[in-house]
C-alpha cells in the first residue's frame, strides 16, 4: 500500500493542461446545459477508430470528465448522443430509437468524418447515410479519426467549461 502511495506521489497528475476554454455552443445553452452533460455513445457503424479516440478523450490523459462530461449507460439518463461511424442499414432503426429515448431537449454530437459525411464508407452497400440524414446534429467533430483534443473541445462546447 505504501509503495502504491509513493508511486502515485512520484508520478503526480498525468492529465494534459487544460487548453483555452472554447466558445459555448448556442444549442447547448438553448438546451439548458450548464456545467455538465451526460452522454450516451452510439456506434452507428464505425470501424472503431473513432471509439479508440473517444476512449482516449475520456481517459486519464485528456480527462474530459474534468469539464463536466460523463458517459451514461442509458439514453434515458442522457442529455446528448455522441454518434460515431456512418449510419449503416442495420443501425438506422437503433439510432432513431436511441435518439427518441433521450429526453428533450437533447443534443447530438457527430464524431468523425464518417458520422459527418460517411467518410471513406460513402456509397458502401451497407451504409444508409450520414448521421444528419436521420437525426438532427448540433456539433460536428472532423477527422478520421478525430484527435482526442477535438473530442474534448466538442464536449466543452456543450458544458461551457
Ligand atoms: S472517421 Fe475514420 S476512424 Fe472514424 S469510423 Fe470513420 S473510418 Fe473509422
Looking at residue 1, its pLDDT comes to: 80
C-alpha 19: how far from its chain's center? 18
**Contact at 8 Å (CB) between 36 and 155?**
no
What separation in Å is there between the alpha carbon of 3 and the centre of ligand 1? 41
Q: Which three cell numbers stand for residue 155?
A: 464536449
**Contact status, residue 133 vs residue 127, Cβ threshold 8 Å:** no
Q: Please report the domains of the chain, with CATH numbers, ordered by start residue.
A: 25-159 (3.40.50.12280)
Distances (CA, A) of 145 to 51, 54, 114, 142, 151: 9, 10, 9, 8, 10
Q: How far is the CA of 49 from the centre of ligand 1 (A)?
A: 5
Q: What are phi and psi of 20, to 5 degrees?
A: -50, 140
147 lines ligand 1 (CB under 6 A): no
Q: For a substitution probing ligand 1, which of 43, 87, 112 has the most ligand atoms within 8 Å of its CB?
A: 112
- Write out the H or E segment, with its range, that includes residue 3: helix 2-11
Position 30 scores a pLDDT of 66
For the chain, which ranges sit under pLDDT 50? none
Centre of ligand 1 from the C-alpha of residue 63, in Å: 22
Backbone angles phi, psi at 153, to 5 degrees: -60, -40
* Any ligand 1 atom below 6 A from CB of 86: no
Are the C-beta atoms of residues 83 and 114 closer than 8 Å to each other? no
Nearest CA to ligand 1 atom 2: 144
Q: Determine the pLDDT at residue 33.
A: 74
pLDDT of amino acid 9: 84
144 lines ligand 1 (CB under 6 A): yes
Q: Which pLDDT value is given to residue 152?
A: 95
CB of 37 closer than 8 Å to CB of 68: yes
pLDDT of residue 118: 96
pLDDT of 160 reads 86
Distances (CA, A) of 133 to 21, 101, 116: 30, 18, 10
Amino acid at each position: 500500500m505504501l509503495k502504491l502511495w509513493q508511486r502515485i506521489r512520484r508520478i503526480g497528475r498525468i492529465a494534459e493542461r487544460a487548453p483555452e476554454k472554447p466558445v459555448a455552443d448556442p444549442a447547448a445553452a438553448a438546451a439548458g446545459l450548464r456545467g455538465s452533460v451526460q452522454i450516451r455513445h452510439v456506434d452507428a457503424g464505425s470501424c472503431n477508430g473513432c471509439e479508440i479516440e473517444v476512449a482516449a478523450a475520456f481517459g486519464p490523459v485528456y480527462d474530459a470528465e474534468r469539464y463536466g462530461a460523463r458517459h451514461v449507460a442509458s439514453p434515458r439518463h442522457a442529455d446528448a448522443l455522441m454518434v460515431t461511424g456512418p449510419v449503416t442499414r442495420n443501425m438506422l432503426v437503433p439510432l432513431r430509437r436511441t435518439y427518441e429515448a433521450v429526453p428533450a431537449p437533447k443534443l447530438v454530437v457527430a464524431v468523425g468524418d464518417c458520422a459527418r459525411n460517411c467518410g471513406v464508407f460513402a456509397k458502401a452497400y451497407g451504409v444508409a447515410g450520414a448521421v444528419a440524414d436521420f437525426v438532427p446534429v448540433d456539433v460536428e467533430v472532423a477527422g478520421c479519426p478525430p484527435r482526442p483534443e477535438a473530442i474534448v473541445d466538442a464536449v466543452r462546447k456543450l458544458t461551457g467549461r
